[in-house]
Amino acid sequence: MKKYLLKRFIMSIITLWTIITVTFFLMHSIPGDPFKKEGKMPPAVYENLLKKYGLDKPLHEQYVIYLKNLLRGDFGDSMKSRVETVNDMIRRGFPVSAYLGLEALLIALVFGPTLGALAALYQNKVPDYISMIIAIIGISVPSFIMGTILIQFVAKNVSWLPIGGWGEFKHTLLPALAMSLMPLAYMARLMRSSMLEVLNQDYIKTAKSKGISKAAVILKHAVRNAILPIVSVLGTLISNLLVGSFVIEKIFGIPGLGSFFVKSINNRDYTLIMGTTIFYAIILITMLFLVDIAYMFIDPRIKLTKEGR
């Protein structure tokens, strides 16, 4: 097990380094100048800006300096903000995105597997059809379109529920619901197919033949084993929701990490673009690593298989 974890850790570091390298050189290869939108400026001021951000140095030197700063946890200075660094913006925006993402994740975890289990237990019946219709809608309709639909519906029919802003729990309901539909639908479909497979296993039939109640068989045996595939994809789903949906935050006027990312693109704030991209990569890789470890403890068979490789 230790050998496998060490291997996964090394692969995670290599993956992160690759993302950092590609992001750095890609941003520096984009045509244009981050300071051109500032308007016409004296050459001396322009040279000072280049010097301040290290853009007057050769590209390979900039890369080495950037890596050293990242090792210290420093994402650099924003090229547009004079009062906040990239770290400050991440510290301010990430908690908002994380709170919204956790709320969306909770909705998805409660209703996704539940709908999938009901669909499997009532295969080819009304609950199955309803669950799969919801799943198809959730997968087919992008979250930003669903968010727009919810805004239009609430604006006309639910006066007490705000359609934008931040600060109270009621402000999070609509964006969290819009963000939760895709993972909810994905979990429902995954749970349905996994549950159908588990219900046909011999140990389920054996448990039924021993006189164990249907509820006990479903909860203790079927659901427990059917939910394992969902655990394997939680890393990606959690990281996506924690960082937040950039477009959803823009639509609902939420001051999260996504809003900073959108602004950084519009303003050509290259250090902020790189910082948020790399921060997102760190969250994603970390969650995948942790979920992989958790999966090994939940299902010992996985541990034995991976140790044998």
Give the integer Cα–Cα distance in Å for 157 and 172. Answer: 18
- What mean pLDDT do residues 132-143 have? 89
Q: Contact 62/55 with Cβ under 8 angstroms?
A: yes
**77: which strand partners?**
85
Whether 286 is in a domain gets the answer no
Give the integer Cα–Cα distance in Å for 109 and 101. Answer: 12
- Record the pTM: 0.79
Whether 141 is in a domain gets the answer yes
Structure tokens at 110: 């409660």
Dihedral sign for Cα atoms in the order 55, 58, 63, 68: negative
Whether 67 is in a domain gets the answer no
Range of the domain at 234: 86-266
Q: Contact 86/77 with Cβ under 8 angstroms?
A: yes
Q: How confident is the model at residue 103 (pLDDT cuts 50, 70, 90)?
A: very high
Whether 273 is in a domain gets the answer no
Number of structural domains (the chain) is 1
Whether 154 is in a domain gets the answer yes
Whether 122 is in a domain gets the answer yes
Give the integer Cα–Cα distance in Å for 260 and 37. Answer: 18
The mean of the pLDDT values for the chain is 84
Give the integer Cα–Cα distance in Å for 107 and 102. Answer: 9
Q: How confident is the model at residue 300 (pLDDT cuts 50, 70, 90)?
A: low
* Each residue's pLDDT tens digit, 236-293: 787 777 765 778 888 888 888 888 888 888 888 889 999 999 998 998 888 888 877 7
CATH number assigned to the domain comprising residue 246: 1.10.3720.10
Q: How confident is the model at residue 71 (pLDDT cuts 50, 70, 90)?
A: very high
Q: Contact 290/282 with Cβ under 8 angstroms?
A: no
In the chain, which ranges are continuous DSSP H helix?
Answer: 2-29, 43-52, 59-71, 86-121, 126-140, 143-157, 169-199, 202-209, 214-216, 223-226, 228-243, 246-252, 257-267, 270-298, 300-307
Give the integer Cα–Cα distance in Å for 244 and 286. Answer: 16
Give the integer Cα–Cα distance in Å for 18 and 64. Answer: 14
Q: How confident is the model at residue 305 (pLDDT cuts 50, 70, 90)?
A: very low
User: Scanning the structure block, which residue is given the tokens 């950037």?
Assistant: 66
pLDDT reported for residue 23: 92
**pLDDT for residue 142 is more than 70:** yes
Pick from 52-56, 127-131, 146-150 the range whose average pLDDT is largest: 127-131
pLDDT reported for residue 107: 94
Residue closest to 177 by CA, chosen among 123, 141, 209, 220:
141
**pLDDT for residue 301 is more than 60:** no
Give the integer Cα–Cα distance in Å for 108 and 87. Answer: 30
Whether 204 is in a domain gets the answer yes
Residue closest to 63 by CA, chosen among 86, 91, 29, 90:
29
Whether 174 is in a domain gets the answer yes
